[in-house]
Amino acid sequence: MSTACPECESPVQPPGDARVSELIECPGCRSELEVIALTPIALALAPDPEEDWGE
């Protein structure tokens, strides 16, 4: 069961025990992806933890 990275569309294979809100690193573009749904698997770009969130 794999899906495509929302950023670069590379195939991403989540771990078999993936859970919603788990973070996965895209092997193609190194983006942090968050699991947002399991059946079917869906990924979204996770917020960049190094980004300045502002005040």
**Applying CB under 5 A, which residues contact Zn ion?**
5, 7-8, 10, 26, 28-29, 31
Type of residue found at 2: S
Shortest spacing between CB 16 and Zn ion, in angstroms: 20
CA–CA gap between residue 9 and residue 40 (Å, rounded) = 16
For the record, the structure tokens of 31 come out as: 């983006």
Shortest spacing between CB 2 and Zn ion, in angstroms: 12
Shortest spacing between CB 28 and Zn ion, in angstroms: 4
CB 23 within 8 A of CB 34: yes
